[in-house]
A = this chain, B = another copy of it.
């Protein structure tokens, strides 16, 4: 049976991983498909620097992505360049040339997924983006196929491996954020410019895509409240532990009667929840459905070969669809906003909060703080203070009952004037849904 022809643009870790799998696992892939996947052209910046697996056979090498998207034999273009620059042009050109597209590009799909999907449908080609979220976890297949009959009410993800690695290191070694980050950078677990990871932007792009798939809604990164992990310190894990909780960067999309609340932020989660067992660079997604109840998915969040599996699995699915003559007909991103899934600001939600203060020790501090909270009708749940040497930088924690996030933020704003505060208070929601 005739093969389906693949062209690859971008030969970074993911591209190399995918090509290695296509080469080594070719026979089993052909057994599953009933035909072979053949790579015929690969575009990379410096072809002379990177050899391809010999099992791939004769592959045309090029520096110009136009050679791939215009190659007469190519059926599927794998866009593995990433970013929002050249990638958009590559995908648009591929679609114009009626090539199907497999992409690992979270940033681009988060920003323009709906438009790209619409163009793919009108061009009558196929599109797949499994590798764009949570590398080795097949969460797209789960949401689009496996539980597509359910009505999703919430998603809670650990979607950035770098942040999860840093947080679990702070937790296990009681090391400060800056020290752990520096070591992660030395070991290559974190970028030289870490902000995309540690400030939550990477997880935000992934959540935008997952929420779109789960709710059939146009979600863009700007709909998502985003806060990073730079302020999390060992004392926060110590205090969280006294409350039987730990801290993770949680990407959450939850349905409420008034709309969707979307956030990427560090949160306290119960030690008993399975999400708390996710350590190091792993990713996980907890999905809550009205009918299927809770399901949980866990795996490598990144890495050449796990993400390569996602790309290859997408190539197989798209190749099958091409063979079946069944182009994309329905976008996973809905074309109008359904009221119940309208994103609303996090300030409209009621949550229990963990408030961590660092103060110059003196009498009357609790009184001053609790007066401000009381004025906003914020009820205290507990005041916790662990033994500490320092009188000049004394940490302690107040937890609140469920309160409006708007009120909590206003209260924290009013505290900014208090001269006994060494730094602004840290406020983390306490995740009670898990």
Listed in ascending order, the chain A residues whose CB lies under 8 Å from chain B are 17, 20-21, 24-25, 28-29, 31-34, 130, 136-142, 145-151, 216, 274, 277, 289-300, 303, 305-306, 308-313, 315-317, 320-321, 323-326, 329-330, 332, 334
Contact = CB atoms under 8 A, between A and B. Distances in A.
A32 B217 CA distance: 11
Contact of A309 (B141, B150, B299, B325): B150
Q: Which of A140, A149, A309, A317 has the most CB of B within 10 A?
A: A149
A293 B297 contact: no
Given A138-B141, A141-B142, 12 more contacts: A21-B291, A145-B317, A274-B277, A274-B298, A291-B309, A292-B306, A296-B296, A321-B324, A324-B325, A324-B329, A325-B326, A326-B326
A355 B300 CA distance: 35
Contacts of A311: 149
A295 B298 contact: yes
B32 A330 contact: yes
A296 B298 contact: yes
A198 B28 CA distance: 36
Nearest to A37: B149
Contact of A292 (B31, B149, B277, B305): B305
Contacts of A315: 149
A299 B299 contact: no
Contacts of A303: 293
Pick the most buried of A24, A147, A310: most chain B CB atoms within 10 A of its CB: A147
A293 B136 contact: yes
Contact of A296 (B145, B297, B320): B297
A296 B294 contact: no
A293 B24 CA distance: 16
A209 B17 CA distance: 29
A146 B316 CA distance: 10
B216 A149 contact: no
Contacts of A296: 296-299
A149 B325 contact: no
A1 to B, nearest CB: 9
13 contacts: A20-B291, A21-B291, A28-B216, A32-B216, A33-B330, A138-B147, A142-B146, A145-B313, A146-B313, A291-B306, A291-B309, A294-B300, A321-B326
B324 A309 contact: no
Contacts of A330: 32-34
A295 B297 contact: yes
A312 B149 contact: yes
A145 B148 contact: no
Chain B CB within 10 Å, residue with most, of A28, A140, A315: A28
In the complex, the 8 A-B pairs of residues with the closest C-beta atoms, listed nearest first? A138-B146, A149-B312, A324-B326, A141-B146, A295-B299, A292-B309, A296-B298, A149-B313
A137 B146 CA distance: 8
A270 B17 CA distance: 31
